[in-house]
Structure 1
Amino acid sequence: MNNNNDVQAPSGAIARFLNTIERVGNKLPDPAIIFLVAMLLIWFLSWLFSGTTFDAIDPRTGEAIVVNNLLAGDSLATFLSSMVKTFTGFAPLGVVLVAMLGVGVAEHSGFINTGLKLMLKVTPKQLLTPSIILVAIVSHTATDAGYVLVIPLAGVIFYAMGRHPLAGIAAAFAGVSGGFSANFIPSGIDPLLQSFTQSAAQIINPDMAINPLNNWFFTSASSLFIILLGWYITDKIIEPRLQNTPLDGDTEDLPAFDEARSDEKRAFYIASTVMIAGLALLWFVSAPADSAMRSSDGSLTNFRSPLMQSIVPLIFLLFWIPGAVYGFAVGTFKSSKDMIDAMSKAMSGMAYYIVMAFFCALFIAAFSKSNLGALLAIEGAQLLKAMALPSSVTVVGIIFLTAFVNLFVGSSSAKWALLGPIFVPMLMQLGISPDLTQAAYRVGDSSSNIITPLMPYFPLVVVYCQKYVKGTGIGTLIAMMLPYSIAFLIGWSIFLLAYWGLGIPLGLQSSYAYPAIGS
C-alpha cells in the first residue's frame, strides 16, 4: 500500500538496519511466550544469585540488597496462591478494559466516527502529524488515557486521510510514551517525582525543599522540540518505510469517512453538549477548596487526589454517556441491548491483550520480588559515580543509564525511588542541583519507553497495529519506534545541555547549581 506518494522510502544503511531489526524481532516467539520465558529466566537467576552477598545498598531500606530466591518452596507457594490476585490487580488491565467499555459504545454508535469526520474537515493534511503528537503529549495529563484513546484513534485518523495507519499509531505512541516527560500542562507525575527528589536531596541537606513544578519550563519547551522531531521522523522516515506494507487486517470494519449527514451532525452536537455538560459538572464539583475530589493537601493534580484516581472511570462515563445519547439520537441504537452489544464487541477485540496481560503481570511481579531490577539500577548508578566524569558528561551519562535501566524496570516512580537517592546526593556533591538531575532522569526515562516489550502497554500497541497489518509482531513495532527512541535520546540530551548552557530556568524555584547562586 502506498498512502503517501510525495515522500521516498529511506534507503541504504538505515533501511537495512531497520529491516534487520524487524526481521529478527518478528522471529521471536509471541509476546505472551516471551513474558513466560522471561519469568522463568528471572526464577533461575534469582536462585543463582540468592546466595551471593552484594555491597550495593538499597536506598529504600538502607540495607545491603538481597536477591530473593523465587524457586524456594515458600516463594513458589506464594506465587501459586497469589496468581489470580496478581493478574486481576495488574493496573494496565483494568485501565484498558474499563476505558474500552466506554469507548466501545462511543465507537460503535458512530459518535467517534462523526467526530473524526468533522475534525478532518478542518485539519490540514500537512499538519496532521504534529497535531496527533501534540494531542498525545497533552494526554499525559489524564495518566494512561493516551494509550487507550489517542494511539488507536491516530491509526483511524491516518487511515481516513489516506495515509498509512501504522504511521499514525507510531506518531501517537512516540508522543504518549516516548515524549512522556514533555508536556505544557502540569500533571500528577510532577509532584510524584518531586517527592522522591526532595527526599533524596535531604540526605545531603535536611532543609532542602523542591518545588513540584521545578521542571515545568523545561518540559514545556521539550513539548515543542518533541513535536517537531517526531513530525520529521514520522513523515520522512517511518511513513515512507511503510509504503510497501499492505493492509491485510479488518479494514472493512473501519468507518467510512464520507461527508457527515445532517442527522449525524445533529446527533453529534447533542451528544457533545451532553459531554460538555458532564465536564462542566465535574469542574463544578472539583473547583471548591473543600471538594471531595481534592487530596488532603487540597491538590487536584496530586496522584493521591480522588480526581486523579478517577481518571479512567471518568473516561468511561465521558464516552459511554455521549455515545449512548448519539446512538439513540441517530438510530444506531434501538434498544439497551444494542448498547450492551457494542460494549461486548469492544471486549472481544481485547481478548488477545488479556492473554498477554496475564503473562506480563506474572513476569513483572516476579522481577519486582526478585530484586534483580533494583540490583541492576543500583550497580549501574555506582559505576557511573566511580567514573568521576565532568558535569555535562555525567548528566548525559545519567540520561543514558536511565534509558538502559528503563528497558528492564518500567515504572517511572519505581526507578526514581531506586536511582534518585543515588543520583541526587551524588550530583549535589559535584555542584549539580536536584532540579537538573531530575530533568536528566526524565529525558532518559521517556526515550526508551517505546522500544521495550516489557513496558506494560507495549503488547496493546502491537494489538492496535494488528488491526491493520495482521503480521505485526514485536520486531515490527520495535523497528518502527527505534528511530524515535534514538533521536529522542540523542536530540533531547543535546537539547537539555543547550537549555542548561543558555541558563533558561528549568521550572519554578529551580536552579542548575548546588548550592544555588544567592542561597
Structure 2
Amino acid sequence: MSNHAVNKAPDTPPSAMDKFLNLIERAGNKIPDPALLFFWGLIIVWGLSALFSQFQFELIHPVTGTAIEVKNLLTGQSLAEFLAGMVKTFTGFAPLGIVLVAMLGVGVAEASGFINTGLKKMLNVTPAKLLTPMLILVAIVSHTAADAGYVLVIPLGGIIFHAAGRHPLAGIAAAFAGVSGGFSANFIPSGIDPLLAGFTESAAQILDKDYVVNPLSNLMFTGFSSLLVIAVGWYVTEKIIEPRLKNTPIDEDAEEAPDLASFTAIESKAFNRAGIAMLVGIFALIAAVYPETSPLRSPEGEVTAFTAPLMQSIVPLIFILFVIPGVIYGRVAGTFKQSSDIIKAMSATMGTMGGYIVMSFFCAQFLAAFTQSNLGTLLALSGADLLKAMNLPGQITIVGMILLTATVNLLIGSSSAKWALIGPIFVPMLMAVGISPELTQAAYRVGDSVSNIVSPLMVFFPLVVVYTQRYVKSSGIGTLASMMMPYSIALLICWTAFLLIYWTIGIPLGVSAPYSYSM
C-alpha cells in the first residue's frame, strides 16, 4: 500500500499541503542513513583537519589559556592511533551502554505485558469528559516503553474514541500528539533522558573535558512540560480537530467500536502483583537513601550530587524497577513460563537496537575525531565570538535553537542522530556565551518534539496513516499531516514561550542543572 494513497478524483490537483509534504519527502529520501552521515562526517573531519592545521588562529581556549591549534588527523601517526583506539572509542561511547542497559529492563516489562495492561487500565477508568487529556497523558507516559506508544496507545486512541461515540481519527490524532509531539515531555525518567544526556555530556567535553551532565538534568522541565502538552493537545483536539472531522464520514465497513469495559482476571491479578512489587521496590530505594549515612549518598551526605552513587546508578535502577514487575507479571499471567523466556525478551529488545548500535559505532568515531582535531572547539569559539558581536539576548538565541532543531527534524527523523550531529556544535558554542549544556538540551528537546508529527520521514508516520485508514480508507499522508499541523504550530508557540517563562522564573530544569555556564 502506498503512503501517498489519497482517494481523490483524477482531475483534482494536489493541495498546497500535499505539494509541501512531497517536497520534504523527496528531499529527505536523498539524505543517507544516519550511520552513513557519521561515516562521511568522519571523512570530512579528517580532510578539514588536514586543511586547517596549516593555519594559525588567534582564538584562545578559555580553559587552557592557549591558542587553538587544529590537529591534522591524516598523518601516519594519527591514523595509526585511530585504528588502535577504534574498539575502545566504540565501547567507551557513553550513550551506548546507558541506552542498552535501560532497554534491557524496559524490554522485559513490555514483553511480559505489564506495560500494555497498565496503559489499558489507565484509559479504561477515565471519565468521558476527561477522555482526551487522559489519552494524551497515557501517550506521554508510554515513552518509558520505547515504541509502545506507537504500536499500542495510538491505535487504542482510535478504538476508545470510537467506542465513546467520537470520531476515531480525533483519538488517533490526540494520541499521536502525546506520543510524538510530546516526545520530550514526561513525568518520570525514560530512555531518552540518559540517551540525550550522554550526547550532551560528550559535546560539552569538547570545551570542558571535566563537564558532567546528569541524566535527570531536564526532569523537572519535562514534568511541567507534560502539563502544557496535555492542555494544548486537549484544546486543539476538541476545539479544532473534532469540529473539522464532522465533515469526514467514517467508512461503513470500518472496524466496529469495541467494548473495553473489562479485563481478564489473570491480567488484573498479574498487574496488581507486579504493581505492588514496583511500589515496594521504590519504597525500599527511598528507605535505603533516607539515612544520612546511606552508602547511596555522596561523601558529603548529598543525594543529588554527581559523586553520589545514587546519581551514578540511575540507569541500573531503571533496569531493576522494570525487570522485577515485568518478571512477576509474566510469571502470573503466563507470558513467562520459564526463565529462558525472560532472556528471550531481553534478546528480542536488543534485536531492535541493532540500528542504534551501528549508528553509535560511526557516531563514536566521528565525535572522537571531531574532538581530537579541535575543529569543534574552533567552531564553537568562532560562533561564540559571532554571537557576542551580535549581542543577542540569550532568549533569542534559545528561540533560534528551537526553530533550527524543528526544521532539521523534518529531514532527519532520529532524535539521537540529530542531537549527535548538532550537539557538538551548539552545546560548546552556547557554553562559550554563558548558556549551560542542560538549557541547550532542553531547547533541543522542545524543537525536536514539535515537528515530529508533521514529518513524513518520521519512521512511524506511515504506520499512523495505516491506523487512520482503518476508519477512513481515503486518508493518506496529507490527511494525517493536515490533522497534526495545528498541534505542531500550537506546541511550537506555546512550548517555546513556556521555556522562556520557565527560565525567567528560575524554576530548576532538573537535577544538578544550572541555566548558565562560566568558563
Q: Into which bin does the TM-score normalised by the smaller protein fall?
A: 0.5 to 0.7
Task: Give 1:338-487 correspondences, 5 Å limit.
Answer: 338-388=341-391, 391=393, 395-397=395-397, 399-400=399-400, 419-423=430-434, 441=440, 444-449=443-448
The 1-side partners of 2:217 and 2:32 are apart by 43
Cα shift at 1:134: 5.4
Percent of residue pairs identical: 44
Q: How far is the alpha carbon of 1:106 from its aligned partner?
A: 1.8
Partner in structure 1 of residue 165 of structure 2: none
Q: Which amino acid aligns with 1:116?
A: L
* Alpha-carbon shift at residue 218 of structure 1 (Å): 8.2
CA separation of 1:107/1:494 partners in 2, compared to 1, >3 Å: closer, same or farther?
A: closer
Unaligned runs of 5+ in 1: 2-10, 137-145, 201-212, 242-255, 425-436, 454-460, 471-475, 509-519
CA–CA distance in 1 between the matches of 2:380 and 2:359? 26
Q: Partners in 1 of 2:183 and 2:323 — Cα distance?
A: 23
In structure 2, C-alpha distance between the alignment counterparts of 1:70 and 1:469, rounded to whole Å: 46
1:102 aligns with 2:105: yes
Matching of residue 287 in structure 1 with residue 298 in structure 2 = no
> After superposition, what is the alpha-carbon deviation per residue over 1:108-159, rounded to whole angstroms, capped at 9, x for unaligned?
22222222221221245422564157548xxxxxxxxx5x635544542112
Distance, in Å, in 2 between the alignment partners of 1:47 and 1:309 is 39
Note the 1:117-516 alignment, pairs <5 A.
Answer: 117-123=120-126, 124-128=130-134, 130-132=136-138, 135=141, 149=145, 152-153=148-149, 155-162=151-158, 171-177=178-184, 224-229=227-232, 259-388=262-391, 391=393, 395-397=395-397, 399-400=399-400, 419-423=430-434, 441=440, 444-449=443-448, 491-492=494-495, 494-495=497-498, 505-507=505-507
Find the aligned partners of 1:114 and 1:219 in 2 and give their Cα distance: 25
Residue-pair matches, total = 422
2:15 & 2:489 partners in 1: Cα distance?
Answer: 18
Distance 1:371 1:231 in 2: 47
Superposed CA offset, 1:23-51 (max 9, x none): 21123222222221121112111212122
- Give the C-alpha shift of residue 105 in structure 1: 2.0
Q: What corresponds to 1:427 in structure 2?
A: none
2:80 partner amino acid: A
Q: Would you say the 8 A contact 2:49–2:70 is kept in 1?
A: yes
Residue aligning to 1:244 = none
Query: What do residues 438-458 of structure 1 show as CA deviations (whole Å, max 9, x unaligned)?
Result: 9975664444445999xxxxx
What corresponds to 2:94 in structure 1? Answer: 91
Aligned to 1:16: 19
Cα distance per residue 1:324-368 (max 9 Å; x no partner): 112222222222122222222222222232222222222222222
- Name the Cα RMSD after superposition: 4.9
The answer to whether 1:36 aligns with 2:51 is: no
Task: Find the counterpart in structure 2 of residue 249 from structure 1.
Answer: none
Question: Which runs of no fewer than 5 residues in structure 2 stay unpaired?
Answer: 2-13, 160-168, 209-215, 246-258, 409-417, 467-476, 509-519
Checking the alignment, whether the CA contact within 8 Å between 1:111 and 1:327 is kept in structure 2 is: yes
1:74 to 73, 77, 86: 77
2:181 touches 2:449 (CA, 8 Å); kept in 1? yes
**Whole-Å separation in 2 of the counterparts to 1:273 and 1:282:** 14
Letter in 2 for 1:175: G
Cα 1:379–1:173, aligned 2, differ >3 Å: closer, same or farther? farther
- The aligned residue for residue 473 of structure 2 is none
The structure-2 alpha-carbon separation of the partners of 1:101 and 1:61, relative to structure 1 and needing over 3 Å to count, comes to: same
Equivalent in the alignment of 2:6:
none
Sort the Cα spacing of 1:469 and 1:421 in 2 relative to 1 into closer, same or farther, 3 A: same
Q: Which residue of 2 aligns with 1:51?
A: 54
- State the Cα deviation string for residues 362-420 of structure 1 (Å, max 9, x = none): 2222222222222222212211221345x5xx631354268759967669799555533
Task: Give how far 1:277 is off.
Answer: 0.9
Seen in structure 2, the aligned counterparts of structure 1 residues 398 and 315 have a Cα distance that, compared at 3 Å, is: closer
Name the aligned partner's letter for residue 397 of structure 1. Answer: T
- Distance in 2 separating the partners of 1:97 and 1:78: 28
TM-score normalized with structure 2 length: 0.65
TM-aligned CA distance change 1:438 to 1:99, over 3 Å: closer
